[in-house]
Amino acid sequence: MSNKVQERLIGYRVYLDGKDLLGTADITLPDIESMTDTVKGAGIAGEIESPVLGQYGSMGLSFNWRTVNGNLMTLARPKAHHLELRGAVQVYDAAAGTYSTEAQKIVVKATPKKIGLGKMDTGSAQDASSDFECSYIKLSIAGETKLEIDKYNYICVIDGEDILADARDALGLGA
């Protein structure tokens, strides 16, 4: 019996348009937070914060750069940037006592909201930053899609289930 534990991120790289390697940055990934509405009334004892199927709040993505560089300005252009974040996750199989590596890939379409030029301090990082709004995100683990949200195309797939398929059909957006 396998007892696999995903221990840590070994490393990651960020690519623009799937090919151009971007500079050195720490990245804060988006929170996936359902939009909710309060349901109350006859037949309900109190109130319930009910999630709206397939609808999510703002999905922010942040890059913290060591220095001000050309990539910071490339990503400042007011357009949706196609970014691929590729990670290697260390996995320990407790039953076998072995380590392996699992691929993690996150694809986003991200539009810049804020660019921070950081600071000037001799001998230290400049701490420049980029903040984005994601209209699209897709998370794949070991080649399997686990999450895909495409706000403009009314797509929400979570762990293989197309949450908005019936809604698209009801709205006349089906194939």
**Residue 147 included in any domain:** no
**Residue 113 included in any domain:** yes
Note if the pTM is more than 0.85.
yes
**Residue 89 included in any domain:** yes
**Residue 105 included in any domain:** yes
Separation CA 76–CA 48 (nearest Å): 41
User: pLDDT 10s digit of each residue in the chain, 175 long?
Assistant: 668 999 999 999 999 998 877 877 899 999 999 999 999 999 999 999 999 999 999 999 999 998 888 888 899 999 999 999 999 999 999 999 999 999 999 999 999 999 999 999 999 989 999 999 999 999 999 999 999 999 999 999 999 999 999 999 999 997 6
What is the distance of C-alpha 113 from the center of its chain? 16
Cβ pair 114, 127 in contact under 8 A = no
**Residue 103 included in any domain:** yes
**Residue 48 included in any domain:** no
Question: Which CATH number fits the domain that encloses residue 10?
Answer: 2.30.110
Q: What Cα–Cα distance (Å) separates residue 54 from each residue in 104, 152, 174? A: 23, 12, 16
Range of the domain at 15: 4-30+58-138
Separation CA 57–CA 36 (nearest Å): 9
Structurally, the chain folds into a number of domains equal to 1
**Residue 145 included in any domain:** no
Cβ pair 87, 116 in contact under 8 A = no
